[in-house]
Structure 1
Amino acid sequence: MIGVATEAIREAARAASAAGDTKQAIAALESLTRQQPTAAADWFLLASELRKAGRAQDAWRADLSGVHASSRNPELLEAAVAMNEGHLDAGETILKASLERQPDDPAASRLLGEIHWRRGDMTEALALVERAVQLAPGFDLARDFLIRLLLQNNRLPEALAHAELLVTSPLKNPGYDLLKATVLVRLGEQQQAGEIYERLLALHPRQPQVWQNLGHVRKTLGKQADAVHAYRQAVTYQPAMGEAWWSLANLKTVKLGGQDIAAMERALDTLGSDRQEDIFHLHFALGKALEDAKDYAGSFRHYERGNRLRRTMVPHDAAEFSAEAEATAKTFTGAFLAERGEGGCPAPDPIFIVGLPRSGSTLVEHILASHSQVEGTMELPEMMIIAGRLKSRVDEGEFPDFPTMVASLTPEDRLRLGEEYIERTRVHRRTGEPLFIDKMPNNWEHVGLIKLILPHAKIIDARRHPVGCCFSAWKQHFARGQAFSYDLIEVGRYYRDYVASMAAFDAAAPGAVHRVIYERMVADTRREVERLLAHLDLPFEEACLSFWQNERAVRTASSEQVRTPIFTDAVAHWRRFEDKLQPLIETLGPLVDAYPNVPQELLAH
């Protein structure tokens, strides 16, 4: 009889909802959920009716109760176990059958979205998780997951909108504040992110990860002493926190002393093989500390250990990359570009600074960002996202090869892609300057595409001595994106690919690229800045020579160095390690002696 009675209440609630009688539907559903609190669908329907009645917080709590009830659903539990054990097909089969019976189940939709994400199908994952949040706006875990998916797709304004809503959840969770701070950092809103970290630490100071995050923000904002304090707080609360030690060492103008070196060595002794992230960070930090202490042999040993371990954790196929770079260079010939004729987005706004990491590109960026007509942003991923999407059309079999795919782009396609780039980067532009900088160094791989879709954009190639640049990249741990840099031979091959590709583009589009030679820039800054500004059709401004006074946020590894006047200490620092760098020097071959010119064998490459 109880089952019959509850089913009658359920039917009455659904009828009232369908008739628009929100008050009656809420009364029936509140009675129903008291009697059967494990029926997730009733909670979600109650949340919907409460939202119609303007009772947003009550609706949110009802959604949370629905999610809690879903966690007891045997089918969803079975699907979750299958997914976590790697049986994605089995989990998908269970969830699809469940959604056929109950298509508006947010918990099943979110779980199926995660299965698609684990497969790498980001489009379907986003659609399913977005649907889960639409069905149950109070489904906090789904919104959290959605924000992370949006971050992975660089859809930052949408991620921020969801993050701002998530922090208002009736279930107060500091993790949601941290997620919002992450979005703000990606958007370049360092000050706001720092305020979140400071507020959380005021409540609970023993949080090494939050101290470390605060250190990153303070470093980016140029508050070096405050950054040092934050990083030291992190290692005080977690002495073996490798990334915090590396972040301290990576403050290029800070030197770690004997006590710090001893503390890091003790930390290494305490770490097991399951703490690889901490281990390689500590090796990089010790490498820097010992280099500063002029113990070059000990320094190299730690750099070598850190790189060897890190290399096992990141995929990079040097031969495959070289083949791709050569194929791209052979595609964008002078004849090919001439055949394309007019097309692309005519916007002159972007200034692309390309090259290798640690090539002096941040210095060039900071000089240009000190000009009244140029806005500095950050290393923007948008061009790489567009290029990756085009390449996927070949990988998925739509085109037989890259040249055929690029040749298929009509003037309208190129206009659309260029406009997409301008629109996607608009979120990073905060001032009224007519020009802006995109300092993603890896965009050297896409200079041909840039020429096609943004024909009036400017391209600056920041170049540094091959051994000095490659060695500096090898001893620098990058958070992401530079998988080639953890092996001396591979970084040398990458430099060769870069020089050969840029030489081919110079031949295809003479004058399209302005090259800044780092050693010339530090030796005769005024002359090089004048040449640079002339290429950009910008008038000379003295502010470009006092760039270190510019207080803009800088997120790269050179953030402290560009806050001081030009110095020449780094020009030939690699010679202290020359006897250890023979594999790199042999890989670079004639590039070393020919620099800054390009050896004939690469011109004919």
Structure 2
Amino acid sequence: MSKSEARPVPPIVELARRDPAAAAGQLRIVTAREPLNAGAHRMLGRLLRQLGQDEEAARAEMAAIRATAHDPEMVAIAGSLMANDLPETEARLRQRLSRQPTDVAAIRMMAELAGRLARYRDSENLLRRAIELAPAFTAARANLAIVLYKQNRFAEAGEVLEQVLAQDPANVGSRNLLAATLGRIGDYDEALAIYGELVQTFPEHAKLWMSYSHLLKTVGRTEESIAAYRRALAVEPHLGEVWWSLANLKTVEFSDADIAAMEAALGQDIANEDAFHLHFALGKAWGDRKSPGDSFRHYAAGNDLRSRELAYDPDTTTRQVDRMIEVFTPEFVATRAGTGDPAPDPVFILGLPRAGSTLLEQILASHSAVEGTMELPDIPAIAMREAKAAAGGDARDWPGAVAAMPPERFAELGAEFLERTRVQRKTGKPFYIDKLPNNWSYVGLIHLILPNAKIIDARRHPLDCCFSNFRQHFAKGQAFTYSLDHIGRYYADYVRAMDHYDRVLPGRIHRVIHERVLDDPESEVRAMLAYLGLPFEEACMEFHRNTRAVRTASSEQVRRPINRDGAGQWEPFDQWLGPLRAALGDLVEAYADRPA
């Protein structure tokens, strides 16, 4: 046993039971003589908590954590974690915690391990245990905020970050995460204030400038956003995400110098992440210059890098749609009618990314009765959690989990969704929008848990929609978009799923065809509002004047009147779209022949 983990002798343990104050006195002597005796510090901290001497207890608990850092065993475990040898790290941590279950440093390290394995609930529970044992352990509290953020529990993450910053106001990482968290729950003014302070304090921190720019773009301060992106590039010219962020504004045209700088960056030894961002940005740059060959070359290179990194399997989506069709029969739906939460508040706009959903949200959010929020992660999170908790434990088999649910569970899940999303509602408007495109996968669940919610399917020409996705790099998710074959298959599965719901739930889903919105916007807007049971308001036709924050790639496009700039953008690239056409099959012709 190492010196730093020498355990208090049994007489001290016995004395602690009989006379905690006396035992604490002896432990003070021990820890003064042996400052690296983590076990003695821990026991002293526990006794002082019992005696109500919380400040001294906190000092003892933190001394135990510092002493543990010198333990050769912990140094070796930390080394295996740094080397990303996760099985070895886990085995050694389990052995250590079986001997020393209150070793807070080891508990925190186990939480980090769980986080790397995306076992965020396990990580959360471990961090809460560490904080319970050592309430002043600010680093563990900061880790807890990160884990909550990764679970999309932004309001809770914000509360924990406030506690961290109360203990450590100068913690830059936590201030940065708090700004990101506030942005995720729509508290943009406070988030911008924090970022503004951070970039002034750390003007050479390129990624801070980038985060600040993202939020400026979201709230419509476009010129300031561009200037902040340029500041980031002045610090790190090879930072691919910043170049792509400028391209993603859709309104920036790159100069010859910009293109030369991006091409030069690609010639350096840079990370894959910088490389694929640069390729996407150069795809946009050459596309603007009417050079489809150069443009497609860069898009193909960026998508290839990203596709190999994400390793998306299109068969998983196909199987999930098959499973949904198998479970959601007319009889299954009929026997569960009306069992969910009756609230009519949510409006789901779903479909594929780049199908015009942001435009529809902006139009509806210009109505006096409808609030726009953002792409909310809560439906997939609920579905995957319930699937994991079901007997099979397969996170993709949410239909199987739904099939096994008792009727009362649907109302509980509907109420949970309403509660989880309450933080996004900043006005008193009766309706609010969840614009997550991927919710099309979960229409059956949405229908059962929120039977009075409205569902709008935003659909766009398959070649326009799919190729627009191929040209788009997404910050996270949407792994299906990085291959022409994959995106075509995904679109086909989406259509197949929606066709099934049209048969099983006739009239339940209102479909909006993007090209019809471009051709006759007022008729389409009136039809949407009629579906929602709302009167027509002229403000919906003036949606581009709405100053609300918009978080998606279409943020700048929906701040302009309706136009056809995005229509037919696939056409100059048609010679390279064979894999996409093959995956779509007859859907292109079927879309052209759709009823007027």
**Could you say which residue in structure 1 is the equivalent of 2:312?**
316
Q: Which amino acid aligns with 2:152?
A: N
C-alpha separation in 1, matches of 2:288 and 2:330: 47
Secondary structure in 1 matching 2:567: coil
Secondary structure in 2 matching 1:546: helix
Question: By how many angstroms is 1:110 displaced?
Answer: 1.6
Aligned-CA RMSD value: 2.9
**Could you say which residue in structure 1 is the equivalent of 2:127?**
129
**Could you say which residue in structure 2 is the equivalent of 1:258?**
256
Please tell me whether residue 332 in structure 1 is matched to residue 298 in structure 2: no
Question: By how many angstroms is 1:192 displaced?
Answer: 1.8
**Could you say which residue in structure 2 is the equivalent of 1:242?**
240
| One of 471, 475, 478 as aligned partner of 1:479 | 475
Please tell me whether residue 438 in structure 1 is matched to residue 434 in structure 2: yes
**Could you say which residue in structure 2 is the equivalent of 1:406?**
402
C-alpha separation in 2, matches of 1:62 and 1:199: 35
Q: Deviations over 1:468-506 (max 9, x none)?
A: 000000000001110000001110111111111101101
In terms of mean alpha carbon deviation, does 242-251 or 108-117 score higher? Answer: 108-117
**Could you say which residue in structure 2 is the equivalent of 1:381?**
377
| One of 397, 403, 418 as aligned partner of 2:414 | 418
Distance 1:206 1:14, change over 3 A: farther
Q: Deviations over 1:130-186 (max 9, x none)?
A: 100111122233222212211222222221111111123348431221122222222
Q: Which amino acid aligns with 2:387?
A: K
**Could you say which residue in structure 2 is the equivalent of 1:455?**
451
Distance 1:238 1:361, change over 3 A: same
Question: By how many angstroms is 1:51 displaced?
Answer: 7.4
Question: By how many angstroms is 1:39 displaced?
Answer: 2.2
Q: Which amino acid aligns with 2:135?
A: P
In terms of mean alpha carbon deviation, does 515-524 or 230-239 score higher? Answer: 515-524
Distance 1:454 1:193, change over 3 A: same
C-alpha separation in 2, matches of 1:571 and 1:7: 72
Percent of aligned pairs with the same amino acid: 45
Secondary structure in 2 matching 1:462: strand
**Could you say which residue in structure 1 is the equivalent of 2:516?**
520
Distance 1:500 1:205, change over 3 A: same
Q: Deviations over 1:66-104 (max 9, x none)?
A: 322111123333433444455545544443443344332
| One of 327, 345, 354 as aligned partner of 1:358 | 354
C-alpha separation in 1, matches of 2:466 and 2:502: 22
The gaps in structure 1 that reach 5 residues or longer are 600-605
Q: Which amino acid aligns with 1:579?
A: Q
Secondary structure in 1 matching 2:511: strand
Q: Which amino acid aligns with 1:451?
A: H
**Could you say which residue in structure 1 is the equivalent of 2:143?**
145
Q: Give matches, 1:186-335, under 5 Å.
A: 186-272=184-270, 275-335=271-331
**Could you say which residue in structure 1 is the equivalent of 2:553?**
557
**Could you say which residue in structure 1 is the equivalent of 2:153?**
155
The answer (yes or no) to whether the contact 1:249–1:285 under 8 Å persists in 2 is yes
C-alpha separation in 1, matches of 2:18 and 2:593: 76
The answer (yes or no) to whether the contact 1:399–1:405 under 8 Å persists in 2 is no
Please tell me whether residue 507 in structure 1 is matched to residue 496 in structure 2: no
The answer (yes or no) to whether the contact 1:499–1:598 under 8 Å persists in 2 is no
Distance 1:63 1:220, change over 3 A: farther
Q: Which amino acid aligns with 1:154?
A: N
Question: By how many angstroms is 1:390 displaced?
Answer: 3.0
Q: Deviations over 1:400-450 (max 9, x none)?
A: 976654332221011111111111111211211111111110010111111
C-alpha separation in 1, matches of 2:405 and 2:323: 17
**Could you say which residue in structure 2 is the equivalent of 1:603?**
none
The answer (yes or no) to whether the contact 2:522–2:541 under 8 Å persists in 1 is yes
**Could you say which residue in structure 2 is the equivalent of 1:569?**
565
Distance 1:390 1:596, change over 3 A: farther
**Could you say which residue in structure 1 is the equivalent of 2:181?**
183
Q: Give matches, 1:8-87, under 5 Å.
A: 32-44=30-42, 62-85=60-83
Secondary structure in 1 matching 2:510: strand
Q: Deviations over 1:172-219 (max 9, x none)?
A: 431221122222222222322222121122122111010000000101
The answer (yes or no) to whether the contact 1:329–1:504 under 8 Å persists in 2 is yes
Secondary structure in 2 matching 1:351: strand
The answer (yes or no) to whether the contact 2:7–2:39 under 8 Å persists in 1 is no
Distance 1:53 1:198, change over 3 A: farther
Q: Which amino acid aligns with 1:241?
A: L
In terms of mean alpha carbon deviation, does 193-202 or 207-216 score higher? Answer: 193-202
**Could you say which residue in structure 2 is the equivalent of 1:602?**
none
In terms of mean alpha carbon deviation, does 57-66 or 254-263 score higher? Answer: 57-66
Secondary structure in 2 matching 1:545: helix
Secondary structure in 2 matching 1:514: strand
The gaps in structure 2 that reach 5 residues or longer are none
Secondary structure in 2 matching 1:445: helix
Secondary structure in 1 matching 2:166: coil
In terms of mean alpha carbon deviation, does 341-350 or 389-398 score higher? Answer: 389-398
Secondary structure in 1 matching 2:523: helix
Secondary structure in 2 matching 1:216: helix
Distance 1:507 1:7, change over 3 A: closer
Question: By how many angstroms is 1:507 displaced?
Answer: 0.8
C-alpha separation in 2, matches of 1:225 and 1:535: 38
The answer (yes or no) to whether the contact 2:337–2:448 under 8 Å persists in 1 is no
Question: How many aligned residue pairs are there?
Answer: 591
TM-score scaled to structure 1, two decimals? 0.90
C-alpha separation in 2, matches of 1:8 and 1:482: 54
Question: By how many angstroms is 1:301 displaced?
Answer: 0.9
**Could you say which residue in structure 1 is the equivalent of 2:532?**
536
The answer (yes or no) to whether the contact 1:10–1:28 under 8 Å persists in 2 is no
C-alpha separation in 1, matches of 2:153 and 2:361: 25
| One of 574, 579, 582 as aligned partner of 2:575 | 579
Distance 1:490 1:96, change over 3 A: closer
Secondary structure in 2 matching 1:573: coil
Distance 1:568 1:86, change over 3 A: closer
Secondary structure in 1 matching 2:128: helix
The answer (yes or no) to whether the contact 2:385–2:395 under 8 Å persists in 1 is no
